[in-house]
Amino acid sequence: MANNSLNKEEFFGHPKALFILFFTEMWERFSFYGMKALLIFYLTRYHLFTDVNGNLLIGSYAALVYAVPVIGGFIADRYLGFRKAIVFGGIMLVLGHLGMAYEGNAATQSVTGEIIRDNSALQIFYFSLSLIIVGVGFLKANISSLVGELYEVGDKRRDSGFTLFYMGINLGSFLATLICVWLGEKYGWSYGFGAAGVGMFFGLVTFISGRKLLKGKGESKVPELLEQKSFGVKNEWLIYALSVLSSLVFWQMVQRHEAVSMTLMIAGAVSVVYIIYYSITQLDKKAREQLMALTILIVFTVIFWALFEQAYTSLNLFADRILDRDFFGHTISAGQFLSFNALFIILLAPVFAWLWVKLGKYNPNTAVKFSMALLLVGLGFGSLVLGISLSGLGKVAMIWLILTYFLHTCGELCLSPVGLSAVTKLSPAKIVGFMMGVWFLATASSEFIASILANIASVDTSNGTAPDLNLAKQSYLVLFEYLFYTGIAVGLLLLILSPIIKKLMHGVDKELNN
């Protein structure tokens, strides 16, 4: 009877709730990537930011977006539970994206070269970013953790479940980089950003409507504490109120890159200290070494994502300025090239999932897969180095950027789905949400580092366009050569360390690679 009942609650061999989370994340990522794809062009073309300032703003915003899940994961673990945290995060995201739809007046340049900007519109823009930062903080890490909670310990469907979930992320990204970029460039920035907000609204409705299918998963472990009052207000509502007020802090931080840099360093140090303290005081030798292995892997992801996340800054501007985007008489928007990453994931994720199973006992361990990811992301920049070298005095053929995204996607598939699953398997049960937050904190550091790296290729611009094609090409060549050598060198280092990391994982690695 139990098995028959279980089968009725499944869809294609997985819990039905997985598909609610799939579509929720698909729409959330539609909103996130749709806005992010437009951001560098909105700043450099509409508000006439320099490359340096545009890159740093995106780096600060993206860093905070991935850092705040450390706090959101901790609050969900200790107080709210995953479900309530996701709903609150979704509401904040809808509000933030609606604010992004207000674009104000375009910046102008006087005859003396002075840039005159609509500062009121920019402040609304910064505050909207702060609402999105809080929203992602409560949603992103917790929805991934909730996917892991759908499966019992040792359930072999877990990895394929995460792969399906990951495809939802990229289906949202694929649609967003086509639709939002098209709307933004053809009809106006407010249409592109507004479409992203509508997508997030659909995601929130999807999640709320599927509550019954969660079967109690993701609920608060301390519901009685949430009902208790502090300062005359229920603790649950106090958490929401303080979280909303925190957006005022992020409103200021997103405009101050040094503050973001300092915060990341402090957050990273506190996270490491907490992991060490928890390992020593709460864990036995096996669990301690597994957590150590996970921490080492997370450190290497910082390098991977710092290279990979050039997509939304230097690679996006490279596509706009340097790439020959003519395709049989039709000009492809620069931002739409970002869709290749998502398209390749949708096409290749089943292939990689099949490949890992087919390899059987020859399946590479997790550390080796991470090293392969670093090598592939390095080779992706090697493709652009070659493309620039072969372009002569003209623009670079688009095939080289497409090849870059293909190689980067292969690297991502070697690292990200396996990494998300590793967090849920190698983390002690009581701090899974926190460690998922640390995973995203590493990505946050990468985002900030990525913006600094992108500035290696910054060029002197006026009205958002590069003044000299070949001067700009040389700037991008310097950056891409540096990233090529970095990816190869760090990938080889991790490959050398992989036997040690495999030993620290105590057999969990076999489950991760099944």
Higher-scoring residue by pLDDT: 386, 101: 386
Model pLDDT, residue 157 = 75
Residue 494 confidence (pLDDT): 96
State mean pLDDT over 153-164.
72
Burial class (CB in 10 A: 0-12, 13-18, 19+), 360: exposed
Between CA 307 and CA 23 the distance in angstroms is 28
Question: Which of the residue ranges 58-67, 148-157, 247-256, 498-507 has the most confident prediction, judged by mean pLDDT?
Answer: 247-256
Conformation bin of residue 462: beta by default, left when phi > 0, alpha when psi is -120 to 50: beta
Please list, in sequence order, all residues whose beta carbon lies within 8 angstroms of the beta carbon of residue 405, skipping any fewer than 6 positions away.
Answer: 311, 337, 340, 341, 344, 380
String of DSSP letters for 208-229: HHTGGGGTTTT--S-HHHHHSE
Nearest residue to 76 (alpha-carbon basis) of 399, 432, 433, 510:
433
Residues forming beta bridges with residue 10, ordered by sequence position: 15
pLDDT confidence tier of residue 2, bands split at 50, 70 and 90: very low
Residue 466 above 70 pLDDT? no
Instruction: Give the pLDDT score at 9.
Output: 65
- Which pLDDT tens digit goes with each residue over 35-71? 889 999 999 889 999 888 999 999 999 999 888 887 8
Is residue 96 over pLDDT 90? Answer: yes
Q: What is the pLDDT of residue 344?
A: 93
Residue range 263-287: mean pLDDT, rounded: 89
Give per-residue pLDDT as tens, 340-362: 999 998 898 888 878 877 887 78
**Of 15-19, 158-162, 218-222, 406-410, which gets the smallest average pLDDT?**
158-162
pLDDT (0 to 100) of residue 12: 63
Query: Higher model confidence: residue 446 or residue 466?
Result: 446
* Cβ(168)–Cβ(22) below 8 Å: yes
Looking at residue 6, its pLDDT comes to: 44
What pLDDT is recorded for position 1? 41
CA–CA separation, 48 and 372 (whole Å): 39
Which two tokens mark 380? Answer: 């992706």
- pLDDT at res. 3: 46
Residues shown for the chain: 514
pLDDT band at residue 28 under the 50/70/90 scheme: confident
pLDDT band at residue 461 using 50, 70 and 90 as cut-offs: low
Amino acid identity, position 261: S
* Residue that wins the pLDDT comparison between 10 and 319: 319
Mean pLDDT of 123-151: 88
Write down the pLDDT at residue 377.
97
| C-alpha separations of 324 from 136, 316, 319, 343, 453 in Å | 35, 13, 8, 21, 24
Q: Given a cut of 70, is residue 463 above it in pLDDT? A: no
pLDDT category, 315, cuts 50, 70, 90?
very high
> How distant is the alpha carbon of residue 364 from its chain centre?
25
Mean pLDDT of 274-295: 89
Tell me the mean pLDDT in the region 200-218: 85
